[in-house]
Amino acid sequence: MAGRHTIPKFDRILLIRCGSDVEDRLWDFPAAPEDSSNLVFLHGDAVESADRLKTLAVRSHAASFQVCRTSWCRRHPGRAPAPPFELSTLTRLIASIAAGAGRVDSDGLSGACCSQGSGDGGYLLEIAFAPDSPRQAEETVEWLLAAASLELDVRVLFSAGGLAHLRGEFAPAWRQFIDFDLAGLYAQTGNRVDPLDVDARCIEPSDAIGLRGDRRQVILL
Amino acid sequence: MSDPSRDSDRPAIGADGHLLDRNGWTDAVARQLAARDGVELGEMHWWLIRFVRDHFDRYGNPPLMRMAVAALRESGVEDASSRTLYRLFPDGPIRLACRYGGLPAPESCI
């Protein structure tokens, strides 16, 4: 239909947000079999790796290599990434995941996570790192903005260092999701008594395990 | 040499059409910015511009379209939809409300 964009569906998606050891992650990513398609998507600081990964990317035979347009343009205004990398958007990535990606490997800022698309619930974004800059915090909020713009059932779990997103200067951006009732925010606080500046639901580690198990996809940011 | 994008009544505007300094924004500036695009601001335009400015001040980013629609419904326009907002600003309601509201161009592709 004219004016309507097709959302591609991938069998496996590798999301890289961490700027270090990107070569190793890409090297370990399997080539896509002939009848399937894979996607490698760089976001945040990881987009800095696109230029030096181009040769490795060509050799690894993944179907598509994309970088987040917003992340890229913040760091490299006025220039495109080297092929085979191409610009795409966070919203398109999330739409592809929602279209039924078989497996999502997320290499986040606090570790790696593999999600097989099981469970009946919606999506869980897990944040376990403290932002080291306003830009890093902003690029984390943009995940939930993109998911909310698609009206997906999304919850966000903050744990460990990730609780820093819910305090001080970083807190206001997260409040909008509660004020507009767009997503459930959960804070795995355990025995911590430091107050949060966002009215997230405080849960125990055992509840967090249940939350992860209930979700269709878990993406570790 | 004088800056052609600025005169005594008009604050400086960047290449993207947005104010370089949002502190220079006034209602009159909003009308001037809209007039450059041939838009005459009516009551509903002003509602959206003020909503977007308030959201930006409160949360640090422009609202999603669905947030603006929800707020418009809450304000009494019960049948509000994204179409309602696109009728106001066909080239992008939130983006243009940011521009006429003196806010920076939205960076995000969302």
Write the pLDDT tens digit of every residue in B11-35. Answer: 899 999 999 999 999 999 999 999 9
Indicate if B98 belongs to the active site. no
> What DSSP assignment string belongs to B7-72?
BTTB--B-TTSSBS-GGG--HHHHHHHHHHTT----HHHHHHHHHHHHHHHHHSSPPPHHHHHHHH
Q: Which of B55, B61, B64 has the CB atom closest to A149's CB atom? A: B64
For residue A196, what pLDDT is reported?
95
Which one is catalytic: B16, B83, B107, B109? B109
Partner-chain residue, chosen from B55, B58, B110, that has the shortest CB–CB distance to A145: B110
- Tell me how close the Cα of B22 comes to any Cα of chain A, in angstroms: 20
Q: Which residues of chain B make contact with A173, given a CB cutoff of 8 A?
A: 59-61
In chain B, pLDDT over 90 holds for what percent of residues?
84
- Say which residues have a Cβ less than 8 Å from residue A169's Cβ, sequence separation at least 6: A134
Is residue B44 over pLDDT 70? yes
Strands (DSSP E) contained in chain A are 12-16, 38-42, 64-68, 85-88, 103-108, 111-115, 123-127, 154-159, 184-188, 201-203, 217-220
Residue A60 confidence (pLDDT)? 67
CATH superfamily of A1-108: DsrEFH-like (3.40.1260.10)
| Beta carbons of B66 and A146 less than 8 Å apart | no
User: Which residues does chain A have within 8 Å of residue B60's beta carbon, measured at their own beta carbons?
Assistant: 138, 172-173
Closest to B60 (Cβ–Cβ): which among A70, A148, A173?
A173
Q: What is the pLDDT of residues A105-157, one digit of tens each?
A: 999 999 888 888 777 789 999 999 999 999 999 999 999 999 999 999 999 99
Residue in chain A nearest B66 by alpha carbon: A149
- Residue B74: which residues within 8 A CB-CB, separation 6 or more? none
> Looking at residue B55, what is its pLDDT?
98
Q: Find the mean pLDDT for residues B45-53.
A: 98
CB contact under 8 A, B59 and A69: no
Give chain B positions within 8 Å (CB) of A72: none
Is the CATH number of domain A118-221 3.40.50.720? no
Give me the residue from B58, B66, B108 closest to A151, CB to CB. B66
pLDDT value at residue A61:
65
**Per-residue model confidence (pLDDT) at position A44:** 96
pLDDT: which is higher, A59 or A90: A90
For A74, the closest chain B residue by CA position comes to B107
The answer to whether residue B40 scores a pLDDT higher than 90 is yes
* A2 band by pLDDT with thresholds 50, 70 and 90: very low
Question: Is 70 exceeded by the pLDDT of residue A220?
Answer: yes
A1-108 and A118-221 share one fold: yes
Q: Domain boundaries in chain A?
A: 1-108, 118-221
Q: What is the mean pLDDT of chain B?
A: 91
Instruction: Enumerate the residues of chain B whose CB falls inside 8 A of the CB of residue A180.
Output: 66-67, 70
Cβ distance of B109 and A91 shorter than 8 Å = yes
Of A11-20, A23-32, A126-135, B76-85, minimum mean pLDDT range:
A23-32
